[in-house]
Structure 1
Amino acid sequence: MIDYKTATKAELLAEFERLKKLSNDDGFFTKKEFLHFPQIAMPGEAPIAVSSGKMDGKTWLIILTNHRVIFLDKGIFFGLKQVALDLSHISSVGGETKFLSGEITIAADGHTYTVENVSKKGVVPFTNMVKQAIEELKQSKEQSTNTQQNAASNDPFEQLERLASLKEKGIITEEEFQAQKAKILG
């Protein structure tokens, strides 16, 4: 993986070519958008896939990263339009192929973004990669939550508090409380 913040133009273009091949996309007129990515990248953020097409009559580059989906349009001579959707906020991802091209639709936070004239052979790979990135993020969060819960459940003070609560509610007897307390305190 390259460091996008310090990469040369040649390194960025080589990476763009790699991502286009991975996504089966032609990257039609979106090189300048990809070259802009290092300026908006968050620390530790790296592109996973790219796709390109038309949205609202303009050519956009869609960049899937390990944190979000970014829509970029640099304009022909000046200007920048950018939409960034955190992976955790995406509610649906869909694709449709037509006779010559396809479209990708991503919904998040009550908005739906549809990019048309996408490379027909790139629709399914790109949408699958977005779905996979979302699933990996969910699994990562679940593992983190489980680790925190396990750490909390192993805390002897919390175990004693739960045990005392059970005793106060009459669920366990004083003898059971003392026996479990002795086990916890070791």
Structure 2
Amino acid sequence: MAKLDKLVEHARAHLEPGEQIEAAVLGAYDTKMMGQSTVRNGVMLATDRRLVFFAKKLGGHDLESFPYANISSFETSKGLMGHSFRFAASGNDVTLKWINTGDVARFAELLRERAGHRPATAAVPSQPDPMDQLRKLAELRDAGIVTPEEFEAKKRQLLGL
């Protein structure tokens, strides 16, 4: 697991602020470089936002990102050489094979749950309607809970006067 852990730590530097890694697997990634098919060994991360492939290379790294919403289909398999994941994302056909290290079950579960889905966005609290606030404030004034002076001060604040 030492190689997986080391690659995960290198990959963290390329994640978005607050992005969390939820599963990682080590394998070989089929890709094209300069028009030629090639295989890169690296780590595929399932974060709370996307899948990320990261590989170290002499003098640098390779990084490819696949937002869950862009993954249109996927398949998993297991053979003598290990587990494989294949998915289609934004016109790319991605294959990660020979996976024997990492949390394969969790990775597959996250891919199955999130493929094709937009990430949940935090709800933006709506601004209270100033007229509703004034009505409620008038009720408090009429009930004697708020003084007329407090009511007038808050009314000016709410109306921006």
Given the two structures, how large is their TM-score scaled by the length of structure 2? 0.60
Which residue pairs with 2:82 in the alignment? 101
**Is the 1:66–1:133 contact (alpha carbons within 8 Å) kept by the matching residues of 2?**
no
Largest Rg, 1 or 2:
2
CA RMSD of aligned residues (A): 3.0
3-state DSSP class of the match of 1:140? Answer: coil
3-state DSSP class of the match of 2:13? Answer: helix
Q: Which runs of 5+ in 2 are unaligned?
A: 30-37, 130-161
Which residue pairs with 2:28 in the alignment? 54
**Is the 2:69–2:119 contact (alpha carbons within 8 Å) kept by the matching residues of 1?**
no
Q: Which structure is richer in relative contact order (CA contacts within 8 A, separation 6 or more)? A: 2
Which residue pairs with 1:41 in the alignment? 15
Which residue pairs with 2:50 in the alignment? 68
Task: Among all aligned residue pairs of Structure 1 and Structure 2, give the percentage whose two residues are the same amino acid.
Answer: 18
3-state DSSP class of the match of 1:29? Answer: helix
1:98 positional shift: 0.8
1:121 positional shift: 8.8
**Structure 2 counterpart of 1:116, one-letter code:** K
1:120–1:59 distance in 2 versus 1, CA, 3 Å: closer
- Structure number with the higher helix fraction is 1
3-state DSSP class of the match of 1:33? Answer: helix
Q: Distance in 1 between matches of 2:77 and 2:62?
A: 24
Q: Which moved more, 1:36-45 or 1:81-90?
A: 36-45
Which residue pairs with 1:8 in the alignment? none
1:28 positional shift: 6.8
3-state DSSP class of the match of 2:60? Answer: coil
Give aligned pairs, total.
119
Q: Distance in 1 between matches of 2:114 and 2:79?
A: 25
**Structure 1 counterpart of 2:8, one-letter code:** F
**Is the 2:68–2:114 contact (alpha carbons within 8 Å) kept by the matching residues of 1?**
yes
**Structure 2 counterpart of 1:30, one-letter code:** L
Q: Distance in 2 between matches of 1:37 and 1:120?
A: 16
Q: Deviations over 1:77-106 (max 9, x none)?
A: 422001001111111222110134121112
Equivalent runs, 1:8-19 vs 2, <5 Å = none
1:131 positional shift: 2.0
